[in-house]
Amino acid sequence: MTLHQVGVEVDESRAEAVPASRWRRLRPGDWAVRLGTIALILGVWELFGPTLNKLILRPPSDIVRAFFELVANGELQDAMSQSFRELFGGLGVALVLGLVIGIASGRWRFVYNAIDPLVSALYSVPSVALVPLIAVAFKSIGDPPRIATVALFAIFPILINTQQGVRNVDRQLLEVARSFHTSERRLWTDVIIPSATPYVLAGVRLAIGRGLIGMIVAEFFIGLVGLGYLIIAYENVFRIDRMFVPVIVVATMGILMMGFVQWLEGRIAPWLKKEQ
């Protein structure tokens, strides 16, 4: 992550994310630093890891070999299709519910008062603590409780950021809109939605990270399937090289999905990157 992106993290209390206007397009030099850091870590790991602890710090070359083994026997593909079903299902639910509740509570005081204590409470409780409850509530160890777990992990950044985005609409622009006789519908499309968009997208980026955590936690606690199963299964038999494969898949997913959202932001909020 660049420094600019770090500024976008939502603080654990309740702050709204900084709108994404400070993100800058990465230059070739930035990429050199990013890839160089990774190469350096991998190099040190490859050379010195095995000398420190042969069993646990298996070198990256072993992990690469393990990756192809798991692809060859089909285990990785099966686990990924299982896990991504949960991930995208859960993120979808979180996105829809987060947007609807976020918009409603950002716009109407009644909804805000009704849900705010609940949101604060659920957001403060470590989501992990609620996972066994979800399993019991669904009376199943199938996909639905795991999707619900991902949604629980992912919903709050989306909900809170959407709410803050809608609440923080520039009052001066609301007045401009009134001055030109806006309708309620046009007020949403001209002012409220565009001004909330950067907040929502910052929330989605955070939700992706939390959703991936939720996915693995759900697979540990509910049914033991997917990438979470691979981690536990190979850890138990000390195949640390194979255990790392799903971990790296999850990390790669995080990078790709957050990059996708950032790209999406450039497409749907082009005014943000046009500064200077």
Partner 1 sequence: MSAQVARISVERASKRFSSGSLTVFDGLDLAVRDKEALCILGPSGCGKTTLLRSMHGLVPLDGGRIVIDGAEVRAPRRNVAMVFQHFGLMPWKRVRENVAYGLELAGLPKATIDERVEGYIEMVGLRGFERAYPNQLSGGMQQRAGLARALAVEPDILLMDEPFGSLDALTREILQDELLRIYQLAPRTMVFITHSIEEAIAMGDRILVLSARPARVRELLQVDIPRPRTVASVIAHPRFIPLRDHCWRLLRERAA
Binding site for partner 1 (CB under 8 A): 172-173, 175-176, 178-183, 186, 190-191, 194-195, 197, 269-271, 274-275
Distance in Å, CB of 3 to partner 1, minimum:
22
Distance in Å, CB of 178 to partner 1, minimum:
6
**Nearest CA-CA partner of 62 in 79, 74, 76, 45:** 45
Both tokens assigned to 189 = 């499309």
Question: 54 vs 178, which CB is nearer to partner 1?
Answer: 178
Distance in Å, CB of 194 to partner 1, minimum:
4
| CA 147 to each of CA 119, 195, 215, 254: distance values in angstroms, whole numbers, following the listed order | 19, 30, 8, 17
- By CB atoms closer than 10 A (0-12, 13-18, 19+), residue 202 is buried
* Residue labelled with tokens 């990924």: 80
| CA 58 to each of CA 51, 73, 231, 249: distance values in angstroms, whole numbers, following the listed order | 10, 21, 15, 17
Distance in Å, CB of 39 to partner 1, minimum:
37
Distance in Å, CB of 237 to partner 1, minimum:
55
Let me know the angle formed at the C-alpha of 258 by 79 and 147, rounded to the nearest 5 degrees.
Answer: 45
b/e map of 66-77 (b: 16 or more CB within 10 Å)?
bbeebeeeebbe
DSSP state of 192: I
Question: 120 vs 262, which CB is nearer to partner 1?
Answer: 262
